[in-house]
Amino acid sequence: MAVWALGINHNTAPVDLRGRFAFALDQIAPTLHSLRTNVGNSLGRQPEAAILSTCNRTEIYCAGRQHEIETTLEWLARSGQVNPAVVREHSYMLQDAGVARHAFRVASGLDSMVLGEAQILGQLKDAVRVADEAGALGTTLNQLFQRSFAVAKEVRTSTEIGAHSISMSAAAVRLAGNLFEDLTKVKVLFVGAGEMIELAATHFAARSPKGIAIANRTLERGEKLATRFGGEVMRLADLPSRLHEFDVIVSSTASQLPIIGLGAVERALKARKHRPMFMVDLAVPRDIEPEVKALEDVYLYTVDDLAHVVQTGHANRQAAVAQAEAIIDAGVQSFVHWMDQRGTVPLIQQLNQQTDEWRTVELARARKLLAKGEDIDTVLEALSRGLTQKMLHGAMAELRGGDAESRQRASTAIEHFFLRKER
């Protein structure tokens, strides 16, 4: 089996390009079907596949009879309606041990914008669950991901990799605090009701803002979050008319198009008499039109803009990273060894099948002799001699035939498999 991966992330591609390849969790199953159908055409057999898609990355993991990276890249380019050359320029392509190392680093939080963050592990588990439910996982990828979970757990328990991380939500609160001296006097609007918004609301609520509101497409889910934080709930359709009421806006939805436009923000600023607005767009694709950032009284941050805020505690982090990388190295070696062993499985199966056939023939012969009344010792002697001759026939034929070089290779193999002393 060959294993390969193709991906783009916050280090290789800007947020707008990543947005072209963002797949919501409920889109993954049909997307996997498209991927496997297209990539499988050149193989004659559909490969195993899984897709991890977050605000910071989209990664495709595959396993099949041979590496199909180029076909996978072409499929991804078509899915995002992007030139393959652009995808190639901003992506990374990995094979075999490289795939294992990358997956283990991702699961452990070493490849995240926020070093050591734990959210990615849950997102990876969700991606694996969806792939499994879609029938896209096989033995190889299942092993890869289960081992990545085990490595991540060991990294968490054996190192302090998570102790030095600052979450995106905490970074947003810190930046808001730099703009507004007293966060207890600001009103905060959260757009969306997913995990990212829940995390952000938790951090902001800890600072006791003047008011909290949740705007969501589904009121029921928004109400649950609003009740938890003592806030109000509103419809997305009410955003344009109420945007001016809020000092801080944090947005993270699964919308494929921006839901907060330049015109709406301009009108809000006018109503606010140009009091500043702090906006955080955690969505990929963007929830807030990028032109908003040019407005004089708006402070807009995307996930990429928050990168420098979360890069703190360099020395402490590096010590933890070194420990984590050692754990990952061991995990990679173990996976590669498992893959190598998998390569011998067909031969082992053939060998077992052949020896079973020999055993069946000799047992049948022995039973016939016993039925005829032959002495049991004589039958056992014939049974053992028959099995021995069948097992050695191939080796003896190689020693007696062929050229000198072939006989020498046979001699070396026979000495290794039959004549070596037990250690």
Annotated binding site: 54-57, 112, 117-119, 123, 192-197
Quick one: three-class SS letters along 65-116? Answer: CCCCHHHHHHHHHHHCCCCHHHHHHHCEEEECHHHHHHHHHHHHCCCCCCCC
**Is the CB of residue 245 less than 8 Å from the CB of residue 187?**
yes
**How far, in Å, are 186, 374, 396, 410, 417 from residue 402 at the CA level?**
89, 40, 11, 10, 20
Structure tokens at 29: 């199953």
Q: How many CA atoms, within 13 angstroms, populate the side-chain half-sphere of residue 347?
A: 5
Cα 346 off chain centre by:
29
How far is the C-alpha of 28 from the C-alpha of 125, rounded, in Å? Answer: 13
Active site residues: 55
Neighbours of 90 (CB within 10 A): 18
**How far, in Å, are 22, 46, 68 from residue 41 at the CA level?**
24, 7, 11
How far is the C-alpha of 360 from the C-alpha of 409, rounded, in Å? Answer: 31
**Residue among 332, 208, 319, 189 nearest 264 (CA):** 189
Residues annotated in a binding site for substrate: 54-57, 112, 117-119, 123
**How far, in Å, are 187, 246, 260, 274, 412 from residue 204 at the CA level?**
10, 14, 21, 23, 72
How far is the C-alpha of 382 from the C-alpha of 40, rounded, in Å? Answer: 52
**Residue among 69, 27, 63, 70 nearest 45 (CA):** 63
Residues annotated in a binding site for NADP(+): 192-197
Quick one: three-class SS letters along 135-180? Answer: CCCCHHHHHHHHHHHHHHHHHHHHCCCCCCCCCHHHHHHHHHHHHC
In what side-by-side order are the strands of the sheet with 277-281?
Answer: 232-235, 211-216, 187-191, 248-251, 277-281, 298-302
